[in-house]
Structure 1
Amino acid sequence: DSVRWSAVEALGKIGSDTAISALVTALNDPKYPVRCSAVEALGKIGSDTAIPELVRSLNNPDSYLRMSAAESLGKIGSDTAILELVKAFNDPNYPVRWTAVEALEKIGSDTAILELVKAFNHPDSYVRISAVEALEKIGSDTAIPELVKALNDPKYFVRKSAVEALGKIGSDTAIPELVKALNNPDSYVRMSAAEALGKIGSDTSIPELVKTLKDPDYYVRMSA
């Protein structure tokens, strides 16, 4: 068993496409550590040839294997895996769901951005916040209208992350909504909005930030 595991590890480190066939075979190895290492090795090699088998692994009964498959598909970075990764947003295991969202972030294409935006309507708040954080890292202006809608999410930590994402993207397009967020009932959202407006650095937000110096919350005033 340890010999097969060591062989799979070595093939992953070598990183040659010629190893893919052997690694795909190892996905059906009777020993769990060998299967896990094979999934990870396929991600390291990063060849599109591995995608069909990794996609199949997204339906493996073992949640760790499903998570590793999603992570590997993110490393490969091909749009062809996106629809299957989106299905994994509904995986019964929450780390698999998060990893699938992170995989779309790594792919980072226009198609991936569109699917991440759709995830703002997902019933799982942790999928929603992961999607917001993913779009923040991608930093695309095309996500701004949906990030603005996320300011009304029922979960405060999703709203807070949406505000932070708008500040990180740094587009003047976000300023009117961030200014509105300075009056949000949630002090964390107001604080994040003030910080985001500071990062964007536009003179147009100064009058509203000055008003925020009278906010009842100390941390909001400090952020302004």
Structure 2
Amino acid sequence: MKVLTYLTGIYIALVLSPIAQSGGASSAPGTQGRSLQGAHLVGFIDGRLTVNARDVSLRELLTEIARKSGFTLVLLSPLQDKMTVEFKQLPLRNAFERILRHRNFAVEYDTSAGASSRVAGLWVFQNGEQNGPAQTIVFTKPEADRSQAATAVDNSVVQAVFVSPNPEDREDAVETLGQSGQTDQIDNLSLALTDVNADVRDAAIDALADIGGDEAAQALAVALGDENAALREGAVDALGKIGGDTAMQVLAAALQDNDEFVRETATEVLSQIKSQSN
């Protein structure tokens, strides 16, 4: 059942879930091994949300979505249960229904700007139990808006990374993001590291190496969990190109890789980084 209540400048959609069923959202086939356990990758472009999350708390995931999208998050439930979910380019309302399909929640829309309403708030209630004290997390402006003036990458290029059915187009788009050299594209490239096509994932590794910096090094941790040993070795080389303390911390995981060549490359790269820092 859905109830719409209109207020001045906003309206609230209250969504009451059916009786909760066991289990949560699950990842799409073929993603195991390409997203880190406990990792969540979130992209928000032109009002549409892309998520690749594995074994993360619902609270952590919603907080990250609110941070990227710029709405107020009000939690009346601890939301400590873990979930795995993956989808691409969904409107926020549809994304909420996918993530919160067994929970009651309300969405606030801001219509004061005109015909196109923007999600201004999300309330999540605890099903079947008394709600606890509200915990409010406020994000006043989407990250995408804050960096919009500085970016020179056309949105159509970014969208191609996620929605093009042609892997060559996705690969070209990823390469363009890397050539931009802009750190605000790292989240998008992180999502490309989970693409079903190995060439696209390989291009994302190279693109992150081209952008460089600690944030890119952290993103490459996803590639160290890739099912393809050659791509894991490529991620090790990319971390060597970036260098620095963060890259060395991420590389430590590759020393335990089950592939001998990956381990050897990681040892060599770590040695090179250490010698350069001395």
TM-score, length basis structure 1: 0.52
User: What is the aligned counterpart of 1:115 among 219, 229, 248?
Assistant: 219
Task: Kindly indicate whether residue 198 of structure 2 is the aligned counterpart of residue 88 of structure 1.
Answer: no
Give the structure 2 partner of residue 64 of structure 1.
Answer: 168
In structure 2, C-alpha distance between the alignment counterparts of 1:118 and 1:92, rounded to whole Å: 14
Q: Number of paired residues?
A: 128
Give the structure 2 partner of residue 48 of structure 1.
Answer: 151
1:107 positional shift: 0.7
1:171 positional shift: 4.2
Structure of greater Rg: 1
Give the structure 2 partner of residue 134 of structure 1.
Answer: 238
Q: CA RMSD in A?
A: 2.2
User: What is the aligned counterpart of 2:177 among 61, 64, 73?
Assistant: 73
1:108 positional shift: 0.4
In structure 2, C-alpha distance between the alignment counterparts of 1:62 and 1:50, rounded to whole Å: 20
1:63 positional shift: 1.2
1:106 positional shift: 0.6
User: What is the aligned counterpart of 2:204 among 100, 106, 109?
Assistant: 100
TM-score, length basis structure 2: 0.42
Give the structure 1 partner of residue 249 of structure 2.
Answer: 145
The higher relative CO (CA closer than 8 Å, separation ≥ 6) is in 2
Identity %: 37
1:167 positional shift: 2.0
Where does 1:23-42 land on structure 2 (aligned, <5 Å)?
none
- Cα displacement string for residues 35-62 of structure 1 (whole angstroms, at most 9, x for unaligned residues): xxxxxxxxxxxx8332422111113111
> In the alignment, is the contact (CA less than 8 A) between 1:51 and 1:73 conserved in 2?
no
More strand by share: 2
In structure 1, C-alpha distance between the alignment counterparts of 2:250 and 2:166, rounded to whole Å: 34
Q: 1:82 and 1:172, CA in 2 relative to 1: closer, same or farther beyond 3 A?
A: closer
Gap runs ≥5 in structure 1:
1-46, 174-199, 201-224
Matched to 2:258, the amino acid is P
In structure 1, C-alpha distance between the alignment counterparts of 2:248 and 2:190, rounded to whole Å: 21
